[in-house]
Amino acid sequence: MLILRELQSRDREGAGGRGRTSRNRLSTQRVASDTIPATHHAKIGAMPEAEVLSTATAAILEEKIRSRRARVGIVGLGYVGLPLAVEFAKAGFTVTGIDISEEKVRRVNAGDSYVGDIPSSTLVPLVASGKLRATTDFSAVLELDTINICVPTPLRKTKDPDMSFIVASCEEIARHFHAGTLVILE
């Protein structure tokens, strides 16, 4: 737990742009820490260094998710992304939604839902309590532990999915990406 608290405080330093360096340095310290679950110890002993680091990072992320301290990001706040963001926030996570639509970001932050399944009365307390916020600024990725990508994948005339929205969002995410972040493509 000591290491995790140190990680959190250094993550906050990272808001000034140094997060990536801090996290990379910490990943080496995590190997020796007792924050790694006992079930991982035998495996870690037999692993090369790179795998040990990723196992330790995964264990820390898992602990953050279980304790609801993981900072969750949703990229694309549409019919899939907004309900997902709301469910994470209701489950106790602090959620940041990222969308290129200034209108959607404004409406989320105003507690004004545009998705039929989500009443504004559900959105308002989550926004007011700071559990859910939205932004167009992808630098928010610096502060996130997990990212769910929920951007459109419309079918082309050929019936192949148009991947350009995924590519565009991933390029933005990559500009601020850091080790230890879980990315899920919905």
Ligand X SMILES: NC(=O)c1ccc[n+]([C@@H]2O[C@H](COP(=O)([O-])OP(=O)(O)OC[C@H]3O[C@@H](n4cnc5c(N)ncnc54)[C@H](O)[C@@H]3O)[C@@H](O)[C@H]2O)c1
For ligand X, the binding residues (CB under 6 A) are 75-81, 98-101, 104, 150-153, 165, 168-169, 186
Long-range CB pairs of 122-125, under 8 A, 24+ apart, other chains included: 122/86, 122/90, 123/86
* Nearest residue (beta carbon) to ligand X: 78
Minimum Å gap between C-beta 75 and ligand X is 5
Minimum Å gap between C-beta 53 and ligand X is 30
Minimum Å gap between C-beta 119 and ligand X is 17
Pick 60 or 98: Cβ nearer ligand X = 98
Pick 59 or 151: Cβ nearer ligand X = 151
Minimum Å gap between C-beta 17 and ligand X is 22
Pick 34 or 171: Cβ nearer ligand X = 171
Pick 111 or 152: Cβ nearer ligand X = 152
Pick 101 or 122: Cβ nearer ligand X = 101
| Count of CB atoms situated within 10 Å of the CB of 63 | 16
Minimum Å gap between C-beta 76 and ligand X is 3
